[in-house]
Structure 1
Amino acid sequence: MSEEKDKDNESALSRKKIIINLIVVLIIGLVINIVISFFADFQETFATLKTINLIFIVKVFVVFSMAYLIDLIRLYIVTLSFHKKIKFKDAIYNTVSFYFMSNITPMASGGQPYQIYHLTKLGIESTLATNIVLSRLVENLLFSSAVILIFIRRVMSILSRIGTGKYILIIGIIAALGFSALLILLFLNPKLIYKLFNFLLKIFPLKNKSKFEQRLQKLENWLEELKLSIKTLWIEKAHIVTIDFILGGFIVFFHSLGLHITLSSITSGSYSILEVFILFIIMNFVVYYIPTPGSSGGVEALYGIVLASFMPGRFVSTTVLLWRFATYYLQIAFEGVILLMTRTKEKGVST
C-alpha cells in the first residue's frame, strides 16, 4: 500500500515539475519575444504579419514533425536488430517523449535520460536502452561535426557575414566540437567513467568506503556490459548504424528545411537550402548550452542576432516569433496530446 502511495506521490511530483517547466518556458519565451519586439518596430512587425499567408506555419509544423516519424522508424530498426519487439503505442510514446522532455528541461537535456528510463520500463535491458539512445546522440554529433568540417569554407563565409554574434557562434562551435570528441571517447571506452570514479574514491576520504566500492563494482560490471552492447551494434551491426546515421541526417535536413520555408515565406527572398542547412547546424551547436528549459529564450535571442545579418531588419522579430511558434510551442502542445493518448503502464516489449 505504501509503495503504491509512493508511486502516486512520485507521479504527482513529476507532473508538478512538468507543469512548472512548461510555465517557465512560456514566460521566458514571452519575455524574450517582447524584448526582441521592443528593439524592433512594433508597427513594422504587425504590418509584416498582415502581409504574410500564415498557412506556411502548417507547412513548417508538418516538415518539422517528420522527425517523429523518422525517429519512430529508427527505434524499430535498432530494437528489431536486437530481436526486441515494442508495441506501436509504446514506440510512439518513447519517440515523442524524447522531444517533449528535451523541450521542457534545462539545456534540452532531459530527453535522452527519459527515453532510457522508458525503454527499461518496457523491459529492455538498461545497457541496450542506453546504447540505443547514446548511439543516436553520438551519430548526431558526428553528422553535425562532419558537415561543419566538410563545408568549413562555407561556414567561414557565413560567419564573416555576421556581426559580433559570430564570436558567440565560434566559441559555441569550438566548445561543441570539444564536447563531441569527449563524448565519443567515453562512448568508445565507457570504462573510463569507472576509472574516474575509482580515482576519486582513492583520493577523497570517505567514512564508508566499502559501500561505495560495492557500488563501483556494480558500475564496472554494468559499463562492461554496455561496452559489449555498443560493440555489437557498431561493429557486428554496422549496417544498422549506417542506416540510423543517414536517417538522423534526414531529421536535421527537415528541421533546417522548416527554417528555409519560414525565411522564404516571410521575406519572399531566395535563400540557398545548403546555406540555411549549414547555418541551422551552426546555431544548434550553440543554443543547447543555454541553461533554460528547452533553451527557451536563448534560441530566440541567438536566432534574432544571427538572422539579422541574413535578412532585412524589419523581418527579424516576425521570423523569430513565427519560426519558434511552429517549431517549439506548437510542437510542445502536439507532443503533450500524443503523450496523453499513448500513455500506458503495461510492459510492451517481447523477445
Structure 2
Amino acid sequence: MRELNNTIKSGLKISLIITIIVFLIILFLTTDSRTWHALKSINGKYLVYVILLNILSWIWSGIRYSILIQGIEGAKLNLLEALQIHLSYYFAASITPTSAGGEPLEIYLLSKKNIKVGQATALSLFRYVINTLTFALASPLIIYFYSYLFPQNIIRKLVQYSAILFLMVVGLFLFALFKPRPIIRLLSYVLIKLRKIPFLRKIHPFKILRVVNKTVRDFHNTLWSFLKEKKLTILGFFLFNLLSWITYFLIAPVLMSAFNLQVNYISVVLVQVPIFFMMFYVPSPGGSGAIEILLSLAFAPFVPKYILGIFIILWRTLTHYLTLLVGAIVLVYILGIKNW
C-alpha cells in the first residue's frame, strides 16, 4: 500500500507541475486586454451544462462497465459500483505515464467483486482494445474526409505513430488469444527469476507455476467466451462506450457557446477524436501538457486567440480535473482512509 501511495502522490505531483507550466505558457501567448472582458461576459448556464455533460459521460461509462461484467457468469456489478471502478480507474490512469496505472488498479478492484484475476485481466484488456479500436478506426477516416479540420501536419503524423502502437497492442492481444502456452511459460520464467524480491522469495516455484497457469487459463477462456457467446454484450458495451465519448466531446462546443461564439458542433466533436486517440500513448501522466498543446492547435480555428488560453484551462478544469478530484475521493473511500 505504501508503494501505491508513493506512486499516486508522485504521479499527481508531476501531472500538476506539467499542467501548470503549460497553462502559464498558453496564457502568456494568448492573453490580452480582451481576454478578461470575454471572461466577465461568459454565460454561466453553459458552465452548468458542461458539468452535467461530464457527469452524464460518467454514467454512460458506468453502464458500460455493468454490461461488460454481466458477460462473466455469476458476476454482477450495480451502477454505483461500476461508477466507483470507472472513476478510480480514471484517477490512477491520469497520474501515471501512458495511463499504465489504470489497468492494475482496475483489475484489483474487479477481483474484489468475486471476479477471478484472469477474468478481470481479460475484461480490462477487452475494454482497452474495444475503446482504442473505436478511435483507431475513426481517426484516419475523420482525417481523410475532414482534412480541412487538420491543417497542422503534426497531428496527422502523430496519428500514424499512435496507429502503429495500437497495431502492436492488437498483435499481442491476438497472440494471447491463440497462443496461451508461450504466455504461461514467459510469465512463469520471469516470476521465478524475480524470486529475489522479498514478497516472492517465500513462494514455492510450483505455487508460482500453478497461479500463473490458472490466471492465464482464466484470461484465455474469458476472451474466447466473449468472442463466441457474448456478442450482444460486446455490442452493448460498444454502444455505451460510444455514447460516453460523444457526450464528452460535446462539452467543448457547449463551452464555446458560453463565450457567445458561433459553433459548428459536428466539426468541434470530430476534431477531438484523433487528439484523444493519441492521448492513449502520450508518456506524460494523463497526457498532461501534450493534450493542452494539441487541443490548442485543434480548437484554434473555432476560438479567437485571446480566448483560447482561458478556454483550454476552463475545459480541462471542468472535465479532466473535476473527474480527477471525484476519482481521488472515490478511491480514498474504497481503499479506506487509514490505508490511504
TM range (shorter): 0.7 to 0.9
Amino acid in structure 1 at the alignment position of 2:107: I
Q: Alpha-carbon deviation of 1:55?
A: 3.7
Distance 1:181 1:79, change over 3 A: same
Runs of 4+ in 1 over 3 A off after TM superposition: 86-92, 149-153, 191-202, 211-225, 338-345
1:110 and 2:101 matched: yes
Question: Which residues in structure 2 correspond to 1:1-351 (within 5 Å)?
Answer: 10=1, 12-82=2-72, 83-86=74-77, 90-159=81-150, 162=151, 166-190=152-176, 195=182, 219=212, 222-273=215-266, 275-343=267-335
Q: Structure 2 CA distance, aligned partners of 1:249 and 1:214?
A: 42
Contact 1:107 1:290 in 2 (8 A): yes
Identify unmatched segments of 5+ residues in structure 2: 196-203
Distance 1:260 1:154, change over 3 A: farther
What SS does structure 1 have at the residue aligned with 2:43?
A: coil
Per-residue deviation, residues 10-63 of structure 1 (Å, max 9, x unmatched): 2x4433432333233222212111111111234232222112124423321221
Q: Alpha-carbon deviation of 1:184?
A: 2.1
> Percentage identity across aligned positions?
23
Amino acid in structure 1 at the alignment position of 2:311: T
Q: Structure 1 CA distance, aligned partners of 2:134 and 2:21?
A: 34
TM-score normalized by the length of structure 1: 0.81
Q: Alpha-carbon deviation of 1:201?
A: 11
Contact 2:63 2:82 in 1 (8 A): no
What SS does structure 1 have at the residue aligned with 2:66?
A: helix
Q: Structure 2 CA distance, aligned partners of 1:38 and 1:152?
A: 30
Distance 1:305 1:197, change over 3 A: farther
What SS does structure 1 have at the residue aligned with 2:250?
A: helix
Q: Supply the RMSD in Å over aligned alpha carbons.
A: 3.1
Identify unmatched segments of 5+ residues in structure 1: 1-9, 346-351
Amino acid in structure 2 at the alignment position of 1:303: L
Contact 1:48 1:318 in 2 (8 A): no
Q: Structure 2 CA distance, aligned partners of 1:237 and 1:75?
A: 14
Q: Structure 2 CA distance, aligned partners of 1:156 and 1:198?
A: 47
Per-residue deviation, residues 101-126 of structure 1 (Å, max 9, x unmatched): 12221222322221012112333111
Show the counterpart of 2:198: none
TM-score normalized by the length of structure 2: 0.83
What SS does structure 2 have at the residue aligned with 1:81?
A: coil
What SS does structure 1 have at the residue aligned with 2:264?
A: coil
Distance 1:218 1:268, change over 3 A: same
